[in-house]
Amino acid sequence: MAECDHDCAQCQSAEGCGERENPASFKKPCHPESHIGKVIGVVSGKGGVGKSLVTSILAVRMRRAGKKVAILDADITGPSIPKTFHVTGPVRSDGDSFYPVETKTGIKVMSLNLLLPHETDPVVWRGPVIAGALQQFWTDVIYGDVDYLFVDMPPGTGDVPLTVYQSLPLDGILIVASPQELVGMIVEKAANMARMMRIPVLGLVENYSYFQCPDCGNRHEIFGKSRLDEAAAAQGVACKDRVPVDPSLAAAVDAGTLEDASLPYLDNAVTMLQALKN
């Protein structure tokens, strides 16, 4: 039997070992003054499909349902959550810990843009530095009492999503996609990565699903035929939602007034989240 070097990718052993069969946990404890119920990741296999929008809608809907809600903006190099809620930094710190900024309805937000001198400053960091900052958003931030912490994940299946999967005690993920066939393939990659990390896939959201004409009321699938039912069946996921192309929704995000907007979307996801057992 070959000597174990704890690198399973290069292991030459024909037999399993304890490190492979029972891998060490890399989960980090949250701040001692944080008491967090459910941790839900919102992921996408590629950028530009509305992952941050879905995160924000879910946070607002759950807050309207009377839940205590927080958002951890894990998209370090492309943070958009502060603009969506029209919140600005700097984040308050006591030297050892940080306090998230609260929106007008009490949603707690932690994002790198709340730490930068200017929100347009680029984050030119290598992967290990980004991963370290992300872990600090979990371990060094005092979220207080929170029923649901939504993690707005960076797109793809690379280093930073892996850090989230390994470091945070995710209760499950929601995958966001658009109708294009290519994205359907990428959805499968995202689902497979979650399952490799033993994270449940709780639901699928198809964004840009259709456009409803304000004059005639007809629905037009301008980004292609919906593949939500097909993808959900392939992944064995019961919870599924569609979000249309809605100009008023886009305007609310641009103005930072999403909390004031009518949000008749993601009913199934909201019901599913409320039903999760503690």
* Averaged confidence pLDDT in the chain: 87
Count of residues for the chain?
278
- pLDDT given for residue 269 in this prediction: 98
Residue range 144-172: mean pLDDT, rounded: 90
Residue range 127-142: mean pLDDT, rounded: 88
Handedness of CA 250, 255, 261, 267 (dihedral sign): positive
Local structure of residue 256 (DSSP, 8 states): T
Q: In the chain, which ranges are continuous DSSP H helix?
A: 18-21, 51-64, 81-85, 127-139, 159-167, 181-196, 228-235, 247-255, 267-275
- pLDDT given for residue 124 in this prediction: 62
- pLDDT given for residue 126 in this prediction: 73
Phi/psi of residue 13, each to 5°? -70, 135
Rounded Cα distance between 268 and 1, Å, is: 51
* Residues 6+ away with beta carbon under 8 Å from 138: 28, 30, 72, 167, 168
First to last CA, the chain: 44
Q: How confident is the model at residue 172 (pLDDT cuts 50, 70, 90)?
A: very high
CA distances from 78 to 13, 74, 154 (A): 41, 9, 8
Q: Which residue has the tokens 């209760």?
A: 171
